[in-house]
Structures are given as structure tokens and as C-alpha cells.
Amino acid sequence: MSSLEPGSVFAGYRVIGLLGAGGMGQVYLVEHPALGRREALKIVSPTGDADFGERFTNEARTAASLDHPGIVTVYAYGVENGSAWFTMRYLDGADLGGSGALPPKDVDHIVTRAAEALDYAHGRRVIHRDIKPANIVITRDEQGHPDRVTVLDFGIARLIDAPKMTATNAFIGTLTYAAPETLSGAPADPASDQYALACTAFELLTGTAPFRGDTPGALITGHVTGPVPRIGERAPMLAGLDPVFVRALAKNPADRFGSCREFAAALGAASAGLPPVAATAVGGPSGPRGTQTFTPPPIQGIPPAQGLPPVQAIPPVQSVPPGAPLSSTPGMAPYPGTVRPAWQTPPPHQPYGPPSGPTPPTGGSKNRTGLIVGAVAGVLVLLAAITGIAVWAANSGGSDTHADDTTVVDPSTSGAPTSGAPTDSTTVAAGEWASIATDGQSSCALRDGSVYCWGSNDRGTLGDGTTTSHSTPTRIPGLSDVTAIAMGGLGSACAISDGDVFCWGANLVGGAPSEYHSPTRVDGVTDASAISVGLATCAISNGDLYCWGNNVYGQTGDPAATGFQKTPTKVSGLNDVRAVSANTNNTCAVTGDGAAWCWGKNDQGQVGDGTTTVRKTPTRVSGLTGVSAIDTGLDSMCAIADGTPWCWGNNGSGQLGNGTEQSSSTPVRVGGVSGARAIATVISGACASTGAGDVWCWGSRSSASNHTAAQVSGIRGVTDLTSGSVNLCAVGSSQLYCWGLNSQGQLGDGSTDSSINEPVRVREPA
């Protein structure tokens, strides 16, 4: 709705002025019609779902029942002209959003009061779900110190959880403080609020949130798989608080503090041992938000010897033993899971989130047309392949030579080779590339039985024992006779060497207790012939399928497992498995009788059985026979049946390739492509290669013309095709080609220049 003008009347209240606006709605200063009392009136942005009004009423009623000095009082609520609203006590103070770093003593006071309010609500089965600095309002005493601390928006945060909510910016703000279990699909609970309060405290102490990133994907990666940041590296004088945050920000909720007050008490005890801070906040009760003389200590990268006082040793915080390791990621057991403390040896596997990619480039000589940046909306969409980027030819309807000399050919035409394309070749000889895999930020390929990788290496994804990135292929030592390579899961890679499975990278697969920078053997799978890495990892062994990893939606095919499947487990009900594909929330397989099977999340019909019911065991895809290949995407799947591509699931971007945007819970045929041999799905589309070695792609968010297949120029003789969140790669005429984004050097051409729809050749290894 449009903004309310001062002097207007809404729901009987006289509007005085606008106090603020955000993704959840607008807040106005209003006057009560009978009492003459000033109140704050919040109008909640609708989500578009039919039951929003009922859910709003339930949440508002619950919030209004809370009576605590640290919780803002809700006076009234209702729905006016389709807009949900509630009024609350008007607080003559400032919220802490953007307040910068505050003195530890002030933060201790704020966190303690907020923790008391949260525990009070938790005792009444109310979860906040959106704790962050902007939802904490403080007033100050005459000396400028925090006095009253009040938490806003109790319970109302649940209203933004609807998948149709499109307030992306507000969602990014929430992601900054979101607990990893909620990002993996688990419901919020008191431990989630404690985690968010710890993120808030970290930011109030340092001026920066614990996990930082320019994209939602980067934020999710930090929360779900990143090690707990050391606050002492951001502010050396605060190093004594490190053990507190290691526990408070543990990945496994069971490893955190038992309550918010317990966290606040530990933080207060540790803060008492910090070196004194001379500066204090100023401005008084009516001073503008953020006006203060306190200057945070130097951040990481500036030597502590430059005039900084020594960090005093303090006694260990209660329940955190001395000498707790701070460099290892705490255990990430299932949610719920083990109660093993975070400082002990963590369990062998971790729940994890989706792949992420770099922000699309804004310039560069190779930044062609054809890159589509999909709008990201809703937490479940953000959980997988966050960047929403698809890379392919972006036109159809006959041959069209663009100004950048990129030729796009419609499949209904002769399909003549594109000028400059390599000649066809399907024979792999010694010294030639055999296959390729990519996760969007890194890529790996096979050559003469060895694995070569390039791109981002922050998590050891290149497998060379370092975290040094490379923009050209670098051989992984220690692996030989490799027959298959797979990548996914936020920087994880796996390979099959002499029938054994080896994994490395982001500690999402392979049973490693911490991040592995070199290949590590996975126990429990032998004689493997194929492997796929997503949030779950699956391998084929003698016709049987074994899966392990994230199982929030049943991706491992084991209905008895909850949260996380730690060890490779045989998937029941499947025999003679020939192909497998694992991605964010789903797994699919092909059996020897030509049937396709999928399981996992199904809200968009991605299982392909004609329903939207979650399937935790293999379910046959309706209507497909003669299936030879299958690939799982974020919320749509594609397969090849008798040489023809078929897709099902979400079709909001035309990713089903049938010229429409109508989604389907059963397979629909992709027109114009025949003789298909390989299939690869991307965020909002898919691509297929044919027996002639051509590549055809479809789907985008730009125009309906991309909803049917169009040929990608510049590459022929394709024998292997793969996709990541921000790029595509192929083996063409025994040469490697990649195209898409390249900020991490993932295209392998020695540069960081993106090439959106023009395949570039990957450099030969040195």
C-alpha cells in the first residue's frame, strides 16, 4: 500500500508521521482516537498467500499476550482494507541497527536485558525468529549509557516465512543473523534465538556481523559451513571473548548455551576480564543514533604491536574448558543431534547449505548478453544456488548474429555448425580431457586418470593441500586411475579412484571431522562406478546406490534418518542403478530398465510423480521410459528419454523448455532437441548436448523467447556437459570449455574476465 499522509486516519488512528519502513512493512507514529496516547502502528506487508490474515491474527494475539518490561507492549491489531496492522507502545529511543561498535560494558547490559526478554518468551513457547540490532531499541540515561532495553516484533517475524514473500532486501538482513538449522529447513527454536542474539552481540562489539558477504549465498555459506569467526581477529582487545562465541555460534544447536541468559552471563563474565576501554558513549537519551566517541580496536590485518594494550588472560568461561580449539569448525550434528560440546572432537559430518556464487560482474570485455540474474525470494529458494544465475544462449527464432559476433541458431533450422566451432570428436586419447565437473566457483576435470582443478580454493576445493586459488588447471597429487569426478555442496569435491571414493573440500562429505584440503577416502563404499555431490552425496556400487549427507527432505533416501546421514547407507527399493544426480533438496536416479526415480522436496512437483508431497524414498517419475540420463536442479528436474529431453517442476523462468511458464509435476517434453545424450540443469534453465556434439539451452527470466531451446555457439563435439550455479563447462573435441562468471578464475583461462554465452577454452596444465 502507499504511504499514509500525516493527518490521515487509518483504522481509527490519526497518523502523525512515518517512523520507518522496511521489508516487513511501514511503522507510523499515530495517536489513539480515544486516549490521545501516542503509539507506534506497524502495517505488515502482505505475503500473497490465502491464509495470511489468519496467521497474522494468531501471531499478533500471541505477541499481545507477552507481558515483560523488555518486550514492547502490543495494544491492538486487525486488518484494514486488506492490510494487517498492530499498534504497540511508542518508545522514545533508537534501535541499534547501524549503531557501530559499542563499549563492551554497554553491550553486556544490552545483551543481558534482551536475553531476559527472550527467555521469558521462550518459557511461554514463543520464538522471536528475527533477533537483530534493528529489533532492539534502547533509551539512555543522562550519562549516555544504555538504560531501558526493549525487543520488538516478537512472533511477528514468522509472517515473512511464506515462500511467496519477495522482500529480498529484508531477507538478506535476516540472513545476517539466521541460525544454520533454520537455513537448512528446520523450525526455529530457543537455540535459534540464542544464536541470533550472539550474532547481534558480535556486531555490537565489533561493528561488523560475524559472517559477512556480498550475496545471500555468501552469508548462508558462513552460517552453515564456515568456522566460527574469532572476535579477537576483528578486535584484538576482545580476544578473551572468543570461547564464548565459539559455543554460542556452534553449528549444532545442542552445543550452544542452554538459554539466552546463560549466554549473556558467560559474555558478562568474560567481558569483566577484558582490558579497560577508556571511551564511552555520549549523546544522552535524546542524542542521535550512533553518535559516540568509542572507537573499536584495530581490525584483522593491522599488527597488534602498534600501540595496543596486551590482552589480559582471564579465567575460562563457565562450561568452556581452557585451551578450547578455536580454528576448527564446531560439530555439526543433526538437528536434533548429539550433545557433544563444540570444543570436543566434532561428529564426522555436518549439515550444510547450498552452493553460492559471486555477484554478477558489471563490466569487462567478455561480459556479453545472455546472463540472467533471477530474483531470489523466500528462504527455501535462498537455500539453494542462491545467485539465481543461468548462463546460455538467449534467443531463438532463427539465426541471429549479434553485435558481439555471438551466433544463436534455432533448433528448427538446419543446425549448421557455428562459425569457428571445433570439429566433432568423440574419441578420448592419451593426453586428452575426459570429463569435467563444477560447483560454480571451482571446477575439476579428468585427464589421463588424474584430476586437475582450478578456481576458488578457500575451502580446499582444489585438493592440492593448500587454500591458494588457481585460475588454470592444477593437478591434485595422490590420486590416480580416476574414473569419475563430481562437485557441489559449497566447495566439496569427490572422485572415484580404483573403485574407492575420495572426497575433499568443505567438509560436507567423506566423514572428515574438519575441512580437508587433500583427498580423503570415504569408508563404506567400494567398487564405485559413479558419484554425485549435492547437499547429499550418492555413489553407485555394483548396481546399488549409497547416499549420505543432508537429509532434511529425505535426500539420502533413508526415511529413518533425520537431519543428517553420517555414513554411506544403501538406498532401499532400487536395483541396477545406472545413473545418479544429487543437488540441493533432491536426488534422482536411473535404473537399468530405463525408469527414472526421484525423492526429496516436492513442493514444486520436482519428484515428478504428479503430486507435491515430500518423498523420502525413491518414487518413480511418471510417464518416462527409456531414460538414459537425469539431472537435478533447484526446483526443477530434467531427464533424457529415448534421446529427447523432458523436464518437470517449477517453470517460472521457462526452465521446462516447452515455451510456457506453467509448472508441471509430471514431465513435459522440451521441443526442438533430438538425439540428446547429456543433460545439465542450472538455476532457472537447463542445457542438453546431442550426439552431434551440439549444446542447446533454454529458460531464463528475461523474455518468453528463451523458454524454448536455442543452440550455444562456439563449441562442438561435446562429450561431457556439466553446470554450476554461475557457469557451464563441457568437454568439446577433447578440449575443455567453460562460460559464465569468472571472478574466482573458474573458467580456467587464466583470467577473471567473465564470458557469459561464449565458451572459452580452459588452458592446458603447466
Active site residues: 130
Nearest to 151 by CA among 85, 202, 205, 196: 196
Backbone angles phi, psi at 665, to 5 degrees: -90, 5
Q: Which residues pair with residue 631 across a beta bridge?
A: 638
Which grid cell sits at 21? 519502513
Q: Report which residue type is found at 254.
A: A
Nearest to 211 by CA among 251, 253, 175, 165: 175
Which grid cell sits at 480? 590416480
Could you give the CA distance from residue 173 to residue 171 in angstroms, rounded to a whole number? 5
Could you give the CA distance from residue 656 to residue 55 in angstroms, rounded to a whole number? 34
Residues 6+ apart with CB under 8 A from 600: 553, 554, 555, 585, 586, 587, 606, 607, 614, 615, 616
What sign does the dihedral 67-72-74-75 (CA atoms) show? positive
Bond from prior residue into 336 cis (ω within 30 degrees of 0): yes
Could you give the CA distance from residue 514 to residue 506 in angstroms, rounded to a whole number? 8
> Are 673 and 659 within 8 A, CB to CB?
no
Q: Report which residue type is found at 54.
A: E
Q: Which residues pair with residue 608 across a beta bridge?
A: none
Task: Please give the DSSP secondary-structure letter assigned to residue 737.
Answer: E
Which grid cell sits at 363? 563490466
Q: Which residues pair with residue 649 across a beta bridge?
A: 636, 664
DSSP H helical ranges for 249-363: 260-271
| HEC secondary structure over 535-597 | CEEEEEECCEEEEEEECCCCCCCCCCCCCEEEEEEECCCCCCEEEEEECCCEEEEEECCCCEE
Which grid cell sits at 576? 541396477
Nearest to 479 by CA among 446, 508, 507: 446
Report in angstroms the alpha-carbon separations of 184 from 312, 380, 453, 725: 39, 8, 28, 18
For residue 169, give the 3-state DSSP assignment.
helix
Cell 533425520 -> residue: 562
